[in-house]
């Protein structure tokens, strides 16, 4: 038998690096296009990860991030001892669970409605109308809500004119705050989110619709048996991502729609982090501990949602 040459058939790390370099040079145009995105993520997403070490330190400005002394889990003990923190978790989960129920399905419904519009020009006009609010900042939306729902706003003026009622404090009543959050979220984000579902619908084979139409199926039947199954993977992925954000999201909206009268039902976890960081005595270590806890819980929710959908449907976000 011939002596073994010692070659295992696998390229060495040196050869793999050389091959990677050749591939990058060969596709340098494509890599150049994605370079700005890579740089953005490196500067604003990955480098700031070092700041999470503040959660385990007592931050002192004169000593800086790396010179501040380690105090272990003391910040987390203080976090869980704060009743306002536990209340903000409940408020966050309550509001964001409502988003999943009332806001998440609306873009799907809107995309299905757009898909049924036969006139191309009308579809483009409707898409532009529904997408436009996405480009408005929540500061502007908050000002619009004051003009519409304020004590002297449009709604109260109409109610007073028609029924002679006293002005209703929509924006200052805690019971109205959550519905206003959902309605403004739907108005602002539905048109933009529907674009994703429309792109998924465009990938469905049109022959399926033609065959179903020949068989005499109605529009609702084609939607139920062709369109919805065709975009189900997209719905699942976006649903998992939404579950992974249950502990965060919505700061800009809540911050601009809330006021001292509704803060009791409006202080989500992001608002709590903002309050403890920039109001009163500044404690960056405490807020870093809260932010780290939020990120870990979001990751666990994401993995749990992905695992459950895989067990139920066989498809998920992660491999």
The mean pLDDT value of the chain amounts to: 89
At residue 249, the pLDDT reads 73
Which residue in this structure is represented by tokens 């999470």? 52
Cβ neighbours for 153, distance < 8 A, ≥ 6 positions apart: 146, 147, 170
Least confident window among 64-68, 86-90, 139-143, 250-254: 64-68
Arithmetic mean of pLDDT, 139-151? 93
pLDDT bracket for residue 319 (50, 70, 90): low
Burial of 57 (0-12, 13-18, 19+ CB in 10 A): buried
Q: Higher confidence at residue 222 or residue 123? A: 222
pLDDT bracket for residue 117 (50, 70, 90): confident
pLDDT bracket for residue 56 (50, 70, 90): very high
pLDDT bracket for residue 2 (50, 70, 90): very low
Per-domain residue ranges for the chain? 14-46, 82-313
* pTM for the full predicted model: 0.84
Cα 221 to Cα 130, 226, 251, distances in angstroms: 26, 8, 40
Arithmetic mean of pLDDT, 60-65? 85
At residue 280, the pLDDT reads 61
Q: Which of 128, 101, 104 is nearest to 114 (CA)?
A: 128
At residue 312, the pLDDT reads 84
What is the second-level CATH architecture of the domain 82-313?
Orthogonal Bundle (1.10)
Cβ neighbours for 207, distance < 8 A, ≥ 6 positions apart: none
Q: pLDDT tens digits for 258-316?
A: 999 999 999 999 999 888 877 666 678 888 899 899 999 999 999 999 999 888 877 77
Q: pLDDT tens digits for 6-47?
A: 445 567 778 888 888 888 888 888 889 999 999 999 999 888
Cβ neighbours for 200, distance < 8 A, ≥ 6 positions apart: 230, 231, 233, 234
Share of the chain above pLDDT 70, in %: 95
DSSP assignments along 96-151, one per residue: HHHIIIIITHHHHHHHHHHHT---HHHHHHHHHHHHGGGGS-HHHHHHHHHHHHST
Q: Which of 16, 253, 1 is nearest to 144 (CA)?
A: 253
Q: Which of 219, 230, 247, 243 is nearest to 108 (CA)?
A: 230
Contact 170, 180 (CB under 8 A): yes
């Amino acid at each position: 038998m011939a002596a073994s040459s010692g070659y295992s058939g696998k390229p060495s790390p040196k050869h793999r690096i050389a091959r990677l370099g050749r591939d990058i040079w060969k596709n340098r145009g494509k890599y150049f296009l994605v370079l700005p995105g890579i740089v953005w993520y490196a500067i604003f997403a990955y480098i700031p990860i070092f700041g999470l070490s503040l959660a385990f330190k007592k931050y002192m400005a004169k000593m800086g991030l790396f010179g501040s002394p380690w105090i272990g889990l003391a910040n987390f003990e203080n976090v869980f001892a704060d009743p306002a923190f536990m209340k903000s978790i409940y408020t966050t989960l309550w509001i964001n669970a409502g988003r999943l129920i009332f806001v998440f399905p609306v873009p799907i419904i809107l995309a299905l409605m757009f898909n049924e519009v036969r006139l191309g020009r009308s579809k483009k006009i409707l898409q532009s109308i529904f997408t436009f609010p996405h480009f408005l900042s929540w500061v502007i939306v908050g000002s619009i809500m004051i003009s519409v729902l304020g004590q002297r706003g449009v709604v109260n003026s109409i109610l007073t004119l028609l029924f002679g009622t006293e002005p209703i404090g929509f924006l200052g009543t805690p019971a109205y705050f959550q519905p206003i959050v959902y309605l403004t979220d739907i108005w602002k984000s539905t048109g933009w989110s529907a674009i994703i579902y429309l792109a998924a619908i465009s990938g469905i084979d049109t022959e399926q619709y033609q065959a179903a139409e020949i068989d005499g199926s109605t529009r609702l039947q084609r939607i139920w048996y062709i369109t919805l199954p065709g975009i189900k993977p997209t719905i699942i992925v976006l649903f998992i991502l939404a579950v992974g954000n249950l502990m965060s999201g919505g700061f800009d909206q809540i911050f601009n729609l809330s006021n001292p009268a509704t803060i009791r039902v409006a202080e989500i976890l992001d608002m709590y982090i903002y309050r403890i960081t920039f109001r009163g005595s500044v404690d960056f270590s405490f807020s870093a501990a809260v932010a780290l806890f939020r990120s870990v819980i979001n990751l666990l929710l994401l993995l749990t949602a992905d695992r459950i959908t895989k067990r139920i449907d066989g498809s998920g976000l992660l491999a």
